[in-house]
C-alpha cells in the first residue's frame, strides 16, 4: 500500500487526486459529489431489483452509470477498492 499524505486516516479517497480531476475547482467537485450522493442509492435499488429478477440486460444497464460515477470520483480509489 502506498503512503499517501493527502489522505486522512480511514479515508477511502485522495482529496488531492479528486481536486486535480476537476482542475482544483472545489465548487465543481462538491457539485459532482452531491450529484453522485443523490443518484447512487437509486442505482443500488435498481440493481438489487434486477438481480432478484435475474435480468442480465437490466443489470448491465444499471451498472454502467454507477460504475462511471464511481470512477469519475476517483479512478485510483476505485481500483484500490476493487483489488
Q: How far apart are CA 31 and CA 36, in angstroms?
A: 9
pLDDT at 2 over 80: no
Q: How far apart are CA 15 and CA 74, in angstroms?
A: 9
Q: Which of 5-9, 35-39, 59-63 has the lowest mean pLDDT?
A: 5-9
Q: How far apart are CA 38 and CA 3, in angstroms?
A: 31
For the whole model, what pTM was predicted? Answer: 0.56
Query: What pLDDT digit, counting tens, does each position of 45-72 carry?
Result: 998 999 999 999 998 888 776 665 666 6
pLDDT given for residue 1 in this prediction: 42
Amino acid at each position: 500500500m502506498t503512503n499517501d499524505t493527502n489522505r486522512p486516516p480511514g479515508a477511502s479517497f485522495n482529496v488531492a487526486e479528486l481536486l486535480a480531476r476537476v482542475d482544483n475547482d472545489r465548487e465543481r467537485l462538491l457539485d459532482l459529489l452531491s450529484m453522485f450522493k443523490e443518484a447512487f442509492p437509486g442505482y443500488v435499488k435498481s440493481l438489487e431489483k434486477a438481480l432478484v429478477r435475474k435480468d442480465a440486460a437490466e443489470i448491465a444497464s444499471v451498472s454502467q452509470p454507477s460504475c462511471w460515477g464511481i470512477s469519475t470520483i476517483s479512478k485510483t480509489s476505485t481500483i484500490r477498492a476493487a483489488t
